[in-house]
Amino acid sequence: MNELSFKIVKLLTKKKLTVSFAESCTGGLLASTITSISGSSKVFNMGLVTYSNNAKMKLLKVPKKTITKHGAVSYETCQSMVKNLSKISKSNISISITGVAGPNGGTKEKPVGLVFIGVKKGGKIVVKKKFFKSKKRVLIQKNTVNEVLKIIKNIIS
């Protein structure tokens, strides 16, 4: 993970781009992965760990009805998270993550390992639905961060 983080920080620096993250199920691991790289202060703007529904609503202005209707782990919530993070942070690239890291909390509709990743660059928002087969919380978190790093590298390369 560190080699990829290093490449991303270098590329972002070279292209004078900034990133911000709103994390739920990864609990700050993505921000930690980027800020562990020397020089990341030039490109990393902010990281919010909006773990509770209340934090998603208060900090990221996710409408209560979105969470009530679709759940915290949903395409709609992830999209709202990244859209509003972008407004707050004014970063070139904004990323939101919400999912079920387990080992408990999964349902038939939303099993452990289900993750939504929202990406906003310019006026374009993309939300990706991923499913990580592991039942180990730390592996789901690490796999999610690795997936996000690959996404960032692809959009800035």
Strand order of the β-sheet with 19-23 is: 44-49, 19-23, 93-99, 114-121, 124-131
Query: Range of 69's domain?
Result: 46-156
What is the model's pLDDT at position 11? 97
CATH code of 66's domain: 3.90.950.20
For the chain, the average pLDDT equals 97
User: Which band of pLDDT confidence, cut at 50, 70 and 90, is reported for residue 1?
Assistant: low
Tell me if 41 is assigned to some domain: no
Tell me if 84 is assigned to some domain: yes
Tell me if 8 is assigned to some domain: no
Percent helix, strand, coil in the chain, to 5, is 45, 20, 30
Tell me if 125 is assigned to some domain: yes
The domain total for the chain is: 1
Tell me if 115 is assigned to some domain: yes
pLDDT at 3 over 80: yes
pLDDT in tens, 14-38: 999 999 999 999 999 999 999 999 9
Tell me if 37 is assigned to some domain: no
pLDDT, average across residues 79-95: 98
CA distances to 100, 113, 126, 134, 135 from 104, rounded to whole Å, are 8, 10, 28, 12, 9
What is the model's pLDDT at position 2? 78
3-class secondary structure, 47: strand
**Total-model pTM:** 0.97
User: Packing angle between helix 53-60 and helix 75-89, nearest 10 degrees?
Assistant: 40
